[in-house]
Amino acid sequence: MSDRLVTVYLGLGSNMGSRSQNLEKALGYITQRMRLIKKSSVYETEPVGNTEQPKFLNMVCEVKTMLTPETLLLLTKGVEQKLGRPAKHPKDSPRTIDIDILFYGDQVFSSPDLIIPHPRLSKRAFVLVPLNEIAPELVDPASGKQIAELLKEVQKGIRGVHKIGGCE
């Protein structure tokens, strides 16, 4: 546990089973251990990498936590397993839920199991569009750029990101 509350942004995605229900269940588990501050709308997105799989539903949430980055990773992996994602899975495979730690405060963190900010977030419209909805002025500590700026750099990728549900 950290000795202070940290603002964390998590990316959630699902493309198997009841995708929207998987997102809601994951949020439910997350909010048992953290305080939900904001959540984005839900977006339907094209798969990246392995394109021979169903479309995803993606969203981003802002939470406050005292968990360390390592403990937060254990928690997110535990939620994924509770919702049916195997601990060992092929890269870019279909999944009931995927939870990525996008940002942990303004920290840059690297360990063999975890890199924060998420190393591919600046190239992923499916993360940047919902993140821009709730935190356009958030600064990526790795690049020094605001989310709105990063989103402008991936404009062509936005074509595959479609809003399907509003914030509650």
Is residue 123 situated within a structural domain? yes
* Mean pLDDT along residues 145-161: 87
Is residue 104 situated within a structural domain? yes
Is residue 83 situated within a structural domain? yes
Q: Pick the residue with more confidence: 14 or 47?
A: 14
Is residue 1 situated within a structural domain? no
Taking 90 as the threshold, does the pLDDT of residue 1 lie above it?
no
Q: Pick the residue with more confidence: 3 or 121?
A: 121
Is residue 153 situated within a structural domain? yes
**What band does 93 get if pLDDT is binned at 50, 70 and 90?**
confident
Domain total for the chain?
Answer: 1
Q: Indicate which residues carry an active-site annotation.
A: 85, 95, 98, 100
Taking 90 as the threshold, does the pLDDT of residue 91 lie above it?
no
Domain CATH code at residue 110: 3.30.70.560
Is residue 132 situated within a structural domain? yes
Q: What is the pLDDT of residues 106-149, one digit of tens each?
A: 999 999 999 999 999 999 999 999 999 999 999 999 999 999 99
What secondary structure does DSSP assign to the chain, as a single string? --SS-EEEEEEEEE-SSSHHHHHHHHHHHHHHHSEEEEE--EEEE--SS--SSPPEEEEEEEEEE---HHHHHHHHHHHHHHTT--SS--TT---S-EEEEEEETT--EE-SS-EES-TTGGG-HHHHHHHHHH-TT-B-TTT--BHHHHHHHTGGGGGGEEEEE---
What pLDDT does residue 157 have? 65
What pLDDT does residue 150 have? 95
* Domain, as residue range, for 104: 6-165
Average pLDDT of the residues of the chain: 91
Taking 80 as the threshold, does the pLDDT of residue 167 lie above it?
no
Tokens of 76: 């997110």
**What band does 90 get if pLDDT is binned at 50, 70 and 90?**
low
Verdict on whether the full-model pTM lies above 0.85 = yes
What pLDDT does residue 106 have? 95
What pLDDT does residue 168 have? 43
CA 92, distance to chain mean position in Å, is: 15
Q: Pick the residue with more confidence: 155 or 67?
A: 67
